[in-house]
Structure 1
Amino acid sequence: MEVDNMSPFLDIPLEVLLQISSYLTTSDYGNLRHVCRRLEVSLLQSFTHEFFTKRQFMISEFSLGALVDISKSRFAPSLSHLIISIERPPIPPSLPVHMQVFSDLEQALRYNKMREEHMSHQALITTGRDLQLLTEALCNLPNLETIGLRDFNSSGRYRDETDNTWHAYGAPTFFRETNFPLDQPRFGGRHLDSSLVESRIQYVSYVFLMMLRALGKAKETHSPTQLEVILRNCHLPSLAFNVPRYLESTITPFLKDLQTLFLDLGPASFSTLVINNGGNYQGYLGLTLVTFLSKTTSLKHLRLNFRSCAKDETRDLLLWLIRTPESSGGSKHQGVEVNKMQEKLPRIPQTPAFQHLKELEIGMITIEPSLLLNIYKRFKPSLRIISLHKVTFSIESQNQVADRVNLWASFFGQMAKLKFNLSDIRLSFLKQIHSMPGYSIEFFLKQIHSMPGYSIEFKDKNKNSSAPNYGTTWTGNDFERSSGELIDSMFINWPPDQDMQEDSYTSPSEDDDDIDDE
């Protein structure tokens, strides 16, 4: 075009132009790209990297339709990280009789728009249109590596000072047209019996299962190897892991080839089912979850976060992880005759060998040191990277409180003696808690979150800061020989002797983010 030769921007070196464009707002940056075709070509790589490497969408006709359009465009090869948000149009409030007549046209239009979006969303999820759109998009994204499920918006959008968050595509438009925020499913703690929370549990489960179905259907064309569920206001319920038999042929092949899996779990993840364990009938917490995990035989990287979980809730899952394939539940016991009635009860699925598991991240859990050590020993041949975030050691011995034993230093001392071949250790907000005089063990376990705890602080020889440091990272290739520096850096700021029996310890401030979720 003739106008290309007239643009003064073409005389500016590209690196200078990119530096200048970094100060522009999103709209001004778009206008700059439209100055001329040659300038658009010069900025294309930088623009694509910033806006089309990682994108977030929600379950709506408008948002998923845009994802399909992108998957058919020149930007499709650049998209490597796709995020599905679980936010949705809220249920429109019922209008009182005296408000049936709107005097404000804009208010009337916004109310109608919110109702239209809600009905459109209901039609989308009840007809299977959402599955169709997501599957079509996945088939057209040749370089997609990671797909995630989230209930929050990430920060880091530096161009627009008024809003520095990356929203799901379509979310700002919905707010602008209705003046209402999208509903972000929230549930947590132990109050899971209300109808609203039950509706949200069902929706989160539906979206997760719909994603798995789309990934399974698109597998022959292309399949990402990383599935990241990062949730801050809710967690995956047990219903989400219940893959019906008629969908196993679609979903299981995808799970079998999955290499990275992040799961945010909570109390609703561990529903109880009665199982047949060698002729013994017993309640088992989290059967759908361990059945789901039993299909992920190729994992190289596993992250498990446990939000607000009681110690007893997670125990069945953790014990399942450390079982070797030869000793897993479900084997026939000699002398036990299995009748047809017994076969109607489910059995614990066999634990995979997980022989490729290189990185294991565990967060937000209270656990016994011996159990955590057994988990690491189970994966010792392949394990190279471990991460612990907001993990609390609990013991029932009061003597170790009086003796001021640092459980974490002792733990890593045992790891060194066992000659783990580790290359990276990431630790943050570690604690230890003890049963205290005057409390029974049963009372202590029930009140575990309100009992006094002792946080692990880390000394850094290279820093003179007096501020406490509650996180550290170790890297190396000989943990047995160099573990001493890590262990020596761990210390507990014990209270005075007279305060040891009192609940006077103040824990450090901790943010609620997942383990390195960005």
Structure 2
Amino acid sequence: MASAADILRLPPELVLRVSSNLNTPDLGAFRRTCKQIETNLFESFAREFFTKRQFMIEHVSLAALVGIANHKTLAPYLTEVIIGCDYLSHHEQRSYPHLERDLSGQIERGMFTETGQARDMLVDAFSNLPNLRTVGLRDYNGTGRYRDGETALWRSYGWSTGLSEEDLRITGRETLKLGTATPDFIFPLLLFALGQAASRPAHINVFLRGQRLPDKSFNVLAGYMYPKVEPVLSKLRTLLLSLNDSVSVSSHDAPHDNLKRFLRHTPVLEHLRLNFRPGMDANTLLEWLGPPLHGSVQLQYLTTLDLGLLSADPAVLLPIISKFPLTSLSFWKVSLQPRDALGLLPDSNTWSLFLKRLGNFISRPSEFKTLMIGYPVDGSRTTSWVRDAGAVKFASRITTDANGEKVFEDLQSQVTYRKHFGSDVRTWLEDLALRTHLPDQSGQEDDSSDESEEEDSDLDAVEEIIDVDDDDEDA
């Protein structure tokens, strides 16, 4: 067995290799063995655990965020702050005496938020993070904590407050449940705190798999909030949203009126993602997003557009694509449902027709880089959006059987175009249109489809496809 002296004689890169095989508690013990080892490990330790951190709207959690922000050495590493929707459950506090003891000096969550202390702590933290680039909101825990096992998760700081290692062993680190708060007020709280802190992150990412953001969450450009929040929006380059279809606060408002006002104040936006509620009719918002008819938004720098879990008329989608100088486009579980289907033949494949036309609506085909389509649905044939008569597949190849009939082979639910030397997106789309197939039309069994589909998944679950790897956690 190597002694501490033997380890000290190793080159720093080998010390790092040794540390990479340790779980988090053992890594902490290893770092504390001596100053030289701590020096050798600090850079990798800070990048792994402090580049990206998740917190709750709880006093004990935000106190840790403020502590990191006020730490002169660690603060520059923190480039992404995620706020989770979870909170410390009163049921869990009663179940484990450690929680009541450890939280006895903390402020109760309701008073913590309603008195403005949560906002003030966020302002304090955001004011002291010089390299903050991304602020996120999510209602789940991220994967990728491989140091502690393949199933380990990145949780909000403070989730195990007051629990001993014995408590964690008995309950299981992955089974302890926290409450889940609505994201409705958390989103405007974050924007207001960023504005008061004069912080200008380039990216705001909202990843929600349960509740979506209602329109009232975007009502941040009125009253005292306007001069604080508007400068934050004016610098945004990435905006990833999960939307509900509720109307604005006033019953006289149309759906998404506040969101429309919100987007008008993001003039330099480059990447917009709109994840809707599964199967939601998004035509009204998409029509506004398209070519100017009713004072719609310009977004002249928008190059990446992601649309997920919605139902839309192809005639509404195509003008949007032609309006912006897009180089990347994603459709995830999009149901195409023409509002005027009189011109369609009974056996028409809506997606095939859409793809044939799509290439002509891409304004800069020579510069186009990525196009992803996942689990599309032909809404003219069904009202559902997964695994039924309307589920569209893409064949890898087409052959002919003994009767001269086409046979679509190796059917897939997801396809991706990536630009490479000699490639052309319009040619790819024309070919894909020919390989687009509704399995129920032929009656053949589909044994090659991807059965790993999750019915509540959205674009955030396939980040690796569109080069925004959310699950590659760094904190």
TM-score range, shorter chain: 0.7 to 0.9
The AA in structure 1 aligned to 2:427 is G
Q: CA deviation at 1:513?
A: 4.1
Given that 1:426 and 1:473 are in contact with CA atoms closer than 8 Å, whether structure 2 keeps it comes out as: yes
Please name the residue that 1:429 is paired with.
375
- More displaced stretch, 412-421 vs 424-433: 412-421
Please name the residue that 1:287 is paired with.
257
Q: Which has the higher helix share?
A: 1
The AA in structure 1 aligned to 2:261 is T
Given that 2:99 and 2:163 are in contact with CA atoms closer than 8 Å, whether structure 1 keeps it comes out as: no
Q: Distance in 2 between matches of 1:431 and 1:299?
A: 29
Given that 2:16 and 2:40 are in contact with CA atoms closer than 8 Å, whether structure 1 keeps it comes out as: no
* DSSP-derived class of the 1:154 partner: coil
- Within a 5 Å distance, the mapping from 1:458-469 to structure 2 comes to 458-459=395-396, 468-469=411-412
Q: CA deviation at 1:165?
A: 0.2
The change in CA–CA distance for 1:493 and 1:507 in structure 2 (over 3 A counts) is: farther
Q: Distance in 2 between matches of 1:70 and 1:111?
A: 23
Q: Distance in 1 between matches of 2:425 and 2:319?
A: 22
Cα deviation digits, residues 250-280 of structure 1 (max 9, x gap): 1111111111101101234x347466xxxxx
The AA in structure 1 aligned to 2:58 is S
Given that 2:62 and 2:122 are in contact with CA atoms closer than 8 Å, whether structure 1 keeps it comes out as: yes
The change in CA–CA distance for 1:59 and 1:71 in structure 2 (over 3 A counts) is: same
Q: CA deviation at 1:448?
A: 7.7
Given that 1:433 and 1:451 are in contact with CA atoms closer than 8 Å, whether structure 2 keeps it comes out as: no
The AA in structure 2 aligned to 1:362 is L
Q: Distance in 2 between matches of 1:315 and 1:114?
A: 50
Q: Distance in 2 between matches of 1:108 and 1:410?
A: 60
The AA in structure 1 aligned to 2:318 is L
- More displaced stretch, 208-217 vs 417-426: 417-426
Please name the residue that 1:362 is paired with.
307
Q: CA deviation at 1:107?
A: 5.6
The AA in structure 2 aligned to 1:423 is K
Match of 1:154 among 142, 157, 160: 142
The change in CA–CA distance for 1:272 and 1:479 in structure 2 (over 3 A counts) is: farther
- Within a 5 Å distance, the mapping from 1:21-100 to structure 2 comes to 21-73=19-71, 74-92=73-91
Q: Distance in 2 between matches of 1:420 and 1:137?
A: 42
Aligned-residue identity in percent: 30
Please name the residue that 2:213 is paired with.
236
Given that 1:89 and 1:114 are in contact with CA atoms closer than 8 Å, whether structure 2 keeps it comes out as: no
Given that 1:419 and 1:480 are in contact with CA atoms closer than 8 Å, whether structure 2 keeps it comes out as: no
Q: Distance in 2 between matches of 1:372 and 1:261?
A: 19
Q: Distance in 1 between matches of 2:347 and 2:96?
A: 70
- More displaced stretch, 507-516 vs 37-46: 507-516
* DSSP-derived class of the 2:298 partner: coil
Please name the residue that 1:476 is paired with.
419
The change in CA–CA distance for 1:112 and 1:62 in structure 2 (over 3 A counts) is: closer
The AA in structure 2 aligned to 1:241 is F
> 2:387 matched to 1:457?
no
Q: Distance in 2 between matches of 1:115 and 1:134?
A: 20
Please name the residue that 1:224 is paired with.
201
Match of 1:385 among 304, 328, 339: 328
The change in CA–CA distance for 1:57 and 1:10 in structure 2 (over 3 A counts) is: same
Q: Distance in 1 between matches of 2:105 and 2:420?
A: 55
Q: Distance in 2 between matches of 1:85 and 1:117?
A: 22
Cα deviation digits, residues 118-137 of structure 1 (max 9, x gap): 96212211211111111111
TM score, norm. by length of structure 1: 0.74
The change in CA–CA distance for 1:226 and 1:458 in structure 2 (over 3 A counts) is: farther
* DSSP-derived class of the 2:213 partner: coil
Q: Distance in 1 between matches of 2:385 and 2:145?
A: 39
Please name the residue that 2:402 is paired with.
none
Cα deviation digits, residues 374-401 of structure 1 (max 9, x gap): 111221xx22111111111113537746
Q: CA deviation at 1:10?
A: 2.2
Cα deviation digits, residues 392-414 of structure 1 (max 9, x gap): 11135377463343x33332332
Cα deviation digits, residues 224-268 of structure 1 (max 9, x gap): 111001001111122211223221111111111111101101234
The AA in structure 2 aligned to 1:246 is Y
The change in CA–CA distance for 1:273 and 1:376 in structure 2 (over 3 A counts) is: farther
* Larger RCO: 1 or 2 (CA < 8 Å, sep 6+): 2
The change in CA–CA distance for 1:323 and 1:416 in structure 2 (over 3 A counts) is: closer
Given that 2:389 and 2:440 are in contact with CA atoms closer than 8 Å, whether structure 1 keeps it comes out as: no
TM score, norm. by length of structure 2: 0.81
Match of 1:183 among 179, 190, 203: 179
Given that 1:91 and 1:118 are in contact with CA atoms closer than 8 Å, whether structure 2 keeps it comes out as: no
The AA in structure 1 aligned to 2:373 is L
Q: Distance in 2 between matches of 1:408 and 1:154?
A: 33
Q: Distance in 2 between matches of 1:182 and 1:480?
A: 49
Q: Distance in 2 between matches of 1:166 and 1:228?
A: 17
> 2:159 matched to 1:171?
yes
The structure with more radius of gyration: 1
Please name the residue that 1:135 is paired with.
123
Q: CA deviation at 1:168?
A: 0.5
* DSSP-derived class of the 2:307 partner: strand
Given that 1:320 and 1:351 are in contact with CA atoms closer than 8 Å, whether structure 2 keeps it comes out as: yes
Please name the residue that 1:417 is paired with.
360
Given that 2:99 and 2:161 are in contact with CA atoms closer than 8 Å, whether structure 1 keeps it comes out as: no
Cα deviation digits, residues 316-374 of structure 1 (max 9, x gap): 211111142xx43xxxxxxxxxxxxxxxxxxxxx4332111111111111111111101
Give 5+ residue unaligned stretches, structure 2: 399-408, 464-469
The AA in structure 2 aligned to 1:133 is M
Q: Distance in 1 between matches of 2:387 and 2:249?
A: 26
Q: Distance in 2 between matches of 1:218 and 1:414?
A: 47
Q: CA deviation at 1:308?
A: 2.9
* DSSP-derived class of the 2:87 partner: coil
Cα deviation digits, residues 63-105 of structure 1 (max 9, x gap): 11111111122111111111011111235599xxxxxxxxxxx
* Number of positions where the alignment pairs a residue of Structure 1 with one of Structure 2: 430
Given that 1:7 and 1:36 are in contact with CA atoms closer than 8 Å, whether structure 2 keeps it comes out as: no
Give 5+ residue unaligned stretches, structure 1: 95-105, 186-199, 276-282, 329-349, 436-443, 501-505
Please name the residue that 1:332 is paired with.
none
Cα deviation digits, residues 139-174 of structure 1 (max 9, x gap): 111111100001000011112239610010001225
The change in CA–CA distance for 1:93 and 1:356 in structure 2 (over 3 A counts) is: closer
Q: Distance in 2 between matches of 1:297 and 1:183?
A: 37
